[in-house]
Amino acid sequence: VRCAVPILFTLVVIILNPDITLSQDNNMLLSSRAEQLVQTALRDQKGYFWLKELCAIGPRLSGSQNSLQAIAWAEKTMRHSGWDRVWLQQVMVPNWKRGLREQAMISRSSFFLKKQLAIAALGGSVGTSAAGICASVIEVKSLAEIDSLKEKAKGKIIFLNRSFDRSKFNPNDSYGGAVDQRTRGAARAGRVGAVAVLVRSVTSKYDNAPHTGVMYYEENGTRIPAATVGQIDADFLSSALLQEPNLELTLRLSCKINPDTISYNVIGEIAGSEFPEEIIVVGGHFDSWDLGCGAHDDGGGCIQAMEVLDLFRRLAIKPKRTIRCVLFMDEEQHQTGAERYIAWCDSAGQKHLAAMESDRGVLTPRGFNVDADSLVLIKIQSWQKILEPTGIDWIRAGGSGADVGKIKGAKALLGYVPDSQRYYDFHHSANDVFEAVHPRELELGTAAMAMLVFLLSEEGL
């Protein structure tokens, strides 16, 4: 009967805090509101068509021309939706650019000569000379193994080939268990005198699409070029090295780190009718990687945030509190957009009740993560039943997201959590296109987010 203890505790909390429960009548009203949001989102599929327009612009790498076009599109679309206020917030962002030259070829070998590997430069990498870097290759499985190479690494290309562990239930854990190779591999290999790194793509799908993503050099560390290689070619290279350990690879990258450039967060809001100074942020990040078009990561999340406010307008819902949609620039590299937004809020005395992020793909809804104190968590959890018609099966303590997680003053930071099983198939690769998004999955997520935003706006925290 040990399980009786948490139930008793919950019971005591509920009885002692009548405020945190809702009356049955109110519950029925709220449930019909949830159903209305689901029906409207699924019927109109407005966000899905918005996402199609957005993806037609192309990928939205921070600092790129496309990203500015997309910003203009978002501003225009928000204005057209008829909110109370829409504005751009200027922010300096990194301006790394992939080059046209991007090649890894086996250039010395008895068996595999001229074999091309499917690669993509990692975000933030320096390029090579036009002639490229020609070197033999050492395969490793960890950063520690790089350290232990010492002298042997000198002049070599280090090939980081630890797998995405597909046996884990949560692909986020598998990703977390492999991604250090991508983010830190070049810095660590640079320390021991390697000339470049190739990193096995961090993805759950066994195909040959390179999955890019950010990498970081150490301050004052040696900066060596870094690229990722598709899983099929990573396996090819690994077995080729077994057969012929001295084969040489030529790596050519014309990517370039340009000076930081001007970009914008896109912000729009519907003012609260009773407590306009209590702000509820709903957002995602508007930049993407430059392969695919960032449909799941995070175009879809931004569209969901925009459609939350659009649903309020379509259904003539007047929120008691201010609902603000924030599309953050530059989440993928340095989160300068989120930092800029926070700095402005602090200086302008903006007060957040809650902030919600959608940045885990736009797959079928599962739950919400809540980063808040226990009483706030219990209050939000008491709404779970009302959210069920939108596909939300649980509300748990957990992290919100890279951007809204920085809004420390809010009473609750919320992360929308869709099913994650397919997410890394698309993530940071040419697989992340509009066609990979299912309209029902996108729209149900929108309805779930809209309903939780509505509850926050009506009930407060």
Active site residues: 331
Residue selected from 204, 304, 358, 446 as contacting a copy of itself according to rule CB under 8 A: 204
Omega before 298 cis (within 30°)?
yes
Task: List for the chain the helix, strand, coil content (%; round to 5).
Answer: 40, 25, 35
Q: Return the range that interacts with a copy of itself (CB under 8 A); candidates 122-130, 228-236, 283-291, 437-445.
A: 437-445
Rounded to whole angstroms, how far apart are CA atoms 395 and 124? Answer: 36
Which has the closest alpha carbon to 456: 386, 374, 388?
A: 386
| Amino acid code (one letter) for 220 | N
| Closest CB to a copy of itself among residues 36, 250 | 36
For a copy of itself, the closer CB: 151 or 169: 169
- Strands in 116-117's sheet, in edge-to-edge order, are 116-117, 102-108, 248-253, 133-140, 157-160, 196-200, 226-229, 119-121
Which token pair is 423? 């997410």
Candidates 423, 441, 440; CA nearest to 432 is 423
- Binding segment for a copy of itself (CB under 8 A), chosen from 48-56, 145-153, 352-360, 434-442, is 434-442
Q: Which stretch binds a copy of itself (CB under 8 A): 50-58, 135-143, 314-322, 360-368?
A: 360-368
* Listed residue (70, 98, 41) closest to 315, CA to CA: 41
Nearest to 444 by CA among 268, 311, 280: 311
Pairing of strands 133-140, 394-397: unpaired
Which residues 131-170 are close enough to bind a copy of itself by CB under 8 A? 166-169
Angstrom CA distances, 266 to 225, 359, 381, 410, stand at 33, 16, 31, 20
Tokens at residue 83, please? 């909110």
Tokens linked to 415: 């992360």
Residue 437 CB, nearest approach to a copy of itself (Å):
12
Please report how close the Cβ of residue 24 comes to a copy of itself at its closest, in angstroms.
6
- The full length of the chain comes to 461
Binding to a copy of itself (CB under 8 A): which residues in 44-73? Answer: 45
Contacting residue, 38, 86, 122, 355, with a copy of itself by CB under 8 A: 38
What x/- string results for residues 364 through 383 when contact with a copy of itself is judged by CB under 8 A? x-xx--------------x-
Q: Which of residues 295-314 bind a copy of itself (CB under 8 A)?
A: none
3-state secondary structure at position 407? coil
Q: Which of 248, 351, 438, 460 lies at the binding interface for a copy of itself (CB under 8 A)? A: 438
> Does 391 sit near a copy of itself (CB under 8 A)?
yes
Nearer to a copy of itself by Cβ, of 34 and 186: the residue is 34
Stretch of residues binding a copy of itself (CB under 8 A), selected from 33-41, 77-85, 180-188, 318-326: 33-41
Q: What are the residues facing 266 on neighbouring strands?
A: 88, 327
Contact between 172 and a copy of itself per CB under 8 A:
no
Angle, CA of 149, 155 and 161, to the nearest 5°: 55
Contacting range for a copy of itself; rule: CB under 8 A; set: 7-15, 85-93, 136-144, 270-278: 7-15
DSSP 164: P
Binder among 197, 302, 444, 455 for a copy of itself (CB under 8 A): 444
Q: Does 7 bind a copy of itself (CB under 8 A)?
A: yes
Interface mask toward a copy of itself for 393-432; x: CB under 8 A: xx------------------------x-xx----------
Q: Which is nearer to a copy of itself, 389 or 401 (CB)?
A: 389
Residue 428 Cβ vs a copy of itself, minimum distance, rounded to whole Å: 18
Structure tokens given for 234 = 């990573």
> What minimum distance in Å lies between the beta carbon of 8 and a copy of itself?
7
Binding footprint of a copy of itself, residue count (CB under 8 A):
43
Count other Cβ atoms within 10 Å, centred on residue 56. 10
- Give the interface with a copy of itself as residue ranges (CB under 8 A): 1-4, 7-8, 10-11, 14-15, 18, 21, 23-24, 35, 38-40, 42-43, 45, 166-169, 171, 204, 364, 366-367, 382, 389-391, 393-394, 419, 421-422, 438, 440-441, 444
